[in-house]
Amino acid sequence: MDIEILPLTEKKPRIQDESQLGFGSLFTDRMFLMEYEEGRGWHSPRIAPYAPFSLDPACAVLHYAQEIFEGLKAFRRQDGEIALFRPLDNFERFNRSARRMCMPEIEPAFALKALKQLLQLEADWIPRSEGTSLYIRPTMIATDPYLGVRPSLKYLFYIILSPVGAYYKGGFSPVKIWISDEYVRSTPGGTGEAKTGGNYAASLRASMEATAKGFDQVLWLDAVERKYVEEVGSMNICFLYDGKVITSPLKGTILDGITRRSILNLIKDMGLEIEERALSVAEIIDGAESGRLKEAFGTGTAAVVSPVGEFTYRDKTVTIGDGEMGELTGKLYETLTGIQYGKVADRHGWVEKL
C-alpha cells in the first residue's frame, strides 16, 4: 500500500524551552491514519495534518472500549541521527493486544514503514536536550456505529507524536508508591496483558486516591490472594534483593514490557542473577527493614528506569536503601539511555535508525 501525503496548511509554533517539556500534552503537526473494513481490509493509508476526528456517537469504542495502543520513542542521537528503540517489538505486541481484543492485526513491517515516513516529515519536532524524546502513540479504535455487543466491523488506526521530557513531575527522582490491597488492576483470564485503554480507566480510582495521599503511583497486587506484586501503574517493577534481581513473571496479568525485557537482558549482561517470581508484600517490608532489599525500580517506555524511594502498605511505610537512586538502578538507566542516545554500543541490535 502506498501512503498518501496530504498537504499541511498550518504549522504549530515550535518548542521554545525544552526544559519545560512534560509528558503527553503537546502534539506535532501531522499524524498517520488508515481505516479497516470487514471484507476490504486496511485501506487509505495517509499522513495528514494533526486534527480532531469526526466519530459517530454510536461507534463501538465509545461504548464498549474496544481500543488498543502502544508507546515507543524516537531519540535524537549525539551524531544527529534519529533512532527508534525496538519498534517491531511494539508492533508485534500491538498485534497480541489486537488478538485479545478481537481487532484486526497490522503488518508490523508496514506499520514501521508508515512510522518512519511520518517521522521523516516531523523530524524537527524531536527535541534535542538530554532526557527528552519524541513519544509515539500508535492507536486502534473500533468505529462501527452499532450498539450490539460484538467486535466492530470497522476500525481506525492512527499514530500521533508528542515531544516529551520526564514522565513524572519530579523527573527521575525516587517515586513514592502506595500498595493497594483494595483495588486490583487485572485478573487471571482478563485483559491485563493487553495494552487496552480499559485497563488504564480501571486504574484511575486507585491512582486518584494515591495522589490525594501524596503518592506518585500505585503498586498492584495479584487479584486472587492480594499478596504478590504484579506491576506499577505505568511500569513493570524490579527489586534488588539478596544480590539478585526479582521481577514478576509474565503470566497474562501484567504487561510484557519492552523496557522490562531490555533491562533484564542488561542485568544478565552484568552477570547478575534474575528470578522471575511473585514477590510478596511481606518480603518487601521485611527486606526493606532488614536491608536485604537494596533497590527497587520501575521500567517502562514513558518511565524509562525510575527509582522507587518508598513503599506504603496500609499504615506502614518503608524506605528502600537510603531513599535515593541505587547504584544498579543508576547504571541501568545510564546504559539503556546510552544505547538509545548512541553513547553506548548497541550490542543487542535494539536500535533502528531512521
Which positions lie near ligand COI, rule CB under 6 A?
A: 71, 200, 234, 300-302
Q: Supply the minimum distance, in Å, between the C-beta of residue 73 and ligand COI.
A: 8
Closest distance of CB 71 from ligand COI, Å: 2
Smaller CB distance to ligand COI: residue 180 or 299? Answer: 299
Q: What is the DSSP letter of 129?
A: S
Q: Quote the least distance from Cβ 65 to ligand COI, whole Å.
A: 15
In the complex, what is the shortest distance from the CB of residue 168 to ligand COI, in angstroms, rounded to a whole number?
11
154 vs 195 by CB, closer to ligand COI = 195
Residue ranges of alpha helices (H) inside 180-318 are 197-201, 204-212, 258-269, 281-290
At 254 the three-state DSSP class reads coil
In the complex, least distance from residue 126 CB atom to ligand COI, rounded to whole angstroms = 17
The CB-nearest residue to ligand COI is: 71
Alpha helices in 213-311 (DSSP H): 258-269, 281-290
Nearer to ligand COI, 85 or 241 (CB): 85
Nearer to ligand COI, 71 or 151 (CB): 71
Let me know: does 274 contact 247? Beta carbons within 8 Å. Answer: yes
In the complex, what is the shortest distance from the CB of residue 233 to ligand COI, in angstroms, rounded to a whole number? Answer: 8
CA distance 204 to 25: 18
Query: Helix H segments across 123-201?
Result: 197-201
Measured CA to CA in angstroms, residue 209 lies from 203, 306, 312, 331 at distances of: 10, 21, 13, 33
Q: Which three cell numbers stand for residue 14?
A: 515550535
User: Which CB, 133 or 301, lies closer to ligand COI?
Assistant: 301
CA 168 distance to own-chain centroid: 13
| 106 versus 305: smaller Cβ distance to ligand COI | 305
- Dist. CA 119–CA 138, nearest whole Å: 13
Judged on CB neighbours under 10 Å (0-12, 13-18, 19+), 298 is buried
The rounded distance, in Å, linking the Cα atoms of 348 and 346 is: 6
27 or 200: whose CB is closer to ligand COI?
A: 200
- Shortest spacing between CB 231 and ligand COI, in angstroms: 11
